[in-house]
């Protein structure tokens, strides 16, 4: 379920929390203005939009290097936003581009990257993270 398809439920929850059970039209319109402003800020600052055919641009805020049991080394880049998924994000959720270390060249925190999304991994609930698997990645800061 995306934020767009669940908008009426989100609006009802927001209005109920804002006013309790009693509302009047003046309060409703004021609350609606606040809600629309908050949702616009939430969407524009939180979700990354594809620039073309599953290609996204984002800033890298953190880098991790991990090695698995087969001694394969991976680069994991924390992004400054989220890719929209079928379910709404959990509070504190982060998305990480995951790839073999030497596949696309060096990437550092602070770099801007462009990547083509292959698939989105499941949410790791304990860490509130999702891996993003990519078919291509270009470092725009190099």
Percent of the chain with pLDDT over 90: 50
Distances (CA, A) of 64 to 96, 100, 119: 10, 12, 20
Q: With b meaning 16 or more CB within 10 Å and e meaning fewer, what string describes 41-73? A: eeeeeeebeeeeeebbbbbbeebeeeeeeeeee
Asked whether the beta carbons of 137 and 114 are under 8 A apart, the reply is yes
Bigger pLDDT: 20 vs 91? 91
Q: Give the per-residue pLDDT at 100.
A: 94
In this prediction, residues 2-14 reach a mean pLDDT of 52
In this prediction, residues 136-141 reach a mean pLDDT of 91
**Assigned fold of 49-139:** OB fold (Dihydrolipoamide Acetyltransferase, E2P) (2.40.50)
Q: Give the per-residue pLDDT at 24.
A: 55
Q: Where are the domains of the chain?
A: 7-47, 49-139
In this prediction, residues 21-42 reach a mean pLDDT of 57
Reported as a single tens digit per residue, the pLDDT across 62-121 is: 999 999 999 999 999 999 999 998 888 888 999 999 999 989 999 999 999 999 999 999
Using DSSP bridges, classify how beta strands 82-83 and 129-139 pair: parallel, antiparallel or unpaired: unpaired
Asked whether the beta carbons of 113 and 97 are under 8 A apart, the reply is yes
Using DSSP bridges, classify how beta strands 47-48 and 82-83 pair: parallel, antiparallel or unpaired: parallel
Q: Give the per-residue pLDDT at 5.
A: 44
């Amino acid at each position: 379920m995306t934020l767009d398809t669940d908008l009426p439920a989100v609006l009802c929850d927001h209005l109920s929390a804002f006013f309790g059970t009693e509302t009047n039209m003046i309060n409703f319109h004021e609350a609606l203005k606040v809600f629309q402003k908050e949702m616009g800020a939430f969407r524009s600052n939180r979700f990354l939009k594809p620039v073309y055919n599953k290609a996204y641009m984002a800033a890298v805020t953190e880098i991790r290097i991990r090695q698995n049991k087969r001694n394969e080394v991976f680069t994991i880049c924390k992004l400054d936003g989220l890719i929209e998924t079928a379910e709404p994000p959990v509070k504190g959720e982060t998305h990480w581009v995951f790839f073999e270390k030497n596949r696309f060249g060096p990437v550092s925190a602070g770099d801007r990257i462009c990547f083509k999304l292959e698939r989105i991994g499941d949410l790791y609930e304990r860490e509130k993270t999702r891996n993003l698997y990519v078919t291509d990645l270009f470092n725009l800061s190099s």
